[in-house]
Amino acid sequence: MLRALLPELESAHVRYAAIGGFGMAAIGFQRATMDLDFVVHRDDLGTLHGILTRLGYGRLAQTENVSHYAHADAAWGSIDLLHAFRAPSVEALQRARPYAVFSGACRIRAVSAEDAIGFKVQAMANNPKRRTRELADIEALIEANVGRLDWAEVQGYFELFELGDEGRQLRERLGHAE
């Protein structure tokens, strides 16, 4: 599926980046996932919808913030899109860079570790029931990026979602990751 999708995204100049489990794998932490999650610039959603439709995906739901797609063939999986139109998500998208996947056979854009953490903090803030899972992912991202994280940027995400104390406690507990 990615071998079909990624060239389409590149040729159409869709501004996207992998987030979620696959994005985490690109930046250094493996986690099993059953779907693909992308952040996509809001202005490119129409183009991406056309690409996904041509590839056999149907849109199941769309709100101002997210879209959900599924393929008729379960082997192709589902795709969740976070719409980038607010400054933090647009900036994260601009910072995204390509990573080699499939032994270098293709490249996928993914957000930075700090931005991946930011999206995890957002998910945790939006749905407190996901707190345990999101915190485990955040800690794994921190551990996988020892010595490379910009803690001020990470803390900024915790502050943005009114979880500043939790960010400070996490840094205290995992301070060795600096």
- The reply to whether 12 and 89 lie within a common domain is yes
- The reply to whether 64 and 140 lie within a common domain is no
Q: What is the mean pLDDT of residues 147-153?
A: 91
The whole-number pLDDT of residue 20 equals 79
Q: Shortest CA distance to 81 belongs to which of 45, 135, 39?
A: 39
What is the Cα–Cα distance from 87 to 49, expressed in whole angstroms?
A: 23
Type of residue at 160: L
| DSSP-derived secondary structure for 100-117 | EETTTTEEEEE--HHHHH
Looking at the chain, the whole-number percentage of residues with pLDDT higher than 70 is 92
- The reply to whether 49 and 39 lie within a common domain is yes
7-49 residue pLDDT tens: 999 999 999 999 977 777 777 666 655 678 999 999 999 999 9
The whole-number pLDDT of residue 30 equals 64
Query: Which one has a higher pLDDT value, 156 or 106?
Result: 156
Looking at the chain, the whole-number percentage of residues with pLDDT higher than 90 is 71
Range of the domain at 100: 1-111
The whole-number pLDDT of residue 33 equals 58
- The reply to whether 22 and 57 lie within a common domain is yes
Pair 15, 40: CB distance under 8 Å? yes
Pair 117, 142: CB distance under 8 Å? yes
The whole-number pLDDT of residue 42 equals 98
What is the Cα–Cα distance from 68 to 59, expressed in whole angstroms?
A: 6
The whole-number pLDDT of residue 10 equals 94
What is the Cα–Cα distance from 63 to 119, expressed in whole angstroms?
A: 18
pLDDT over 90 (residue 146): no
- Lowest mean pLDDT across 80-94, 113-127, 135-149, 150-164: 135-149
User: HSE (CB half, 13 Å, CA atoms) of 31?
Assistant: 22
Looking at every residue in the chain, the average pLDDT score rounds to: 90
- The reply to whether 10 and 38 lie within a common domain is yes
- Last residue of one domain, picked from the residues 111, 128, 146: 111
- The reply to whether 95 and 61 lie within a common domain is yes
Per-residue exposure over 128-154, b if at least 16 CB sit within 10 Å of its own CB, e if not: eeeeeebeebbbbbbebbeeebebebb
97-138 residue pLDDT tens: 998 877 778 888 999 999 999 999 999 999 999 999 999 989
- What is the number of structural domains in the chain? 2
The whole-number pLDDT of residue 177 equals 46
What is the Cα–Cα distance from 121 to 161, expressed in whole angstroms?
A: 7
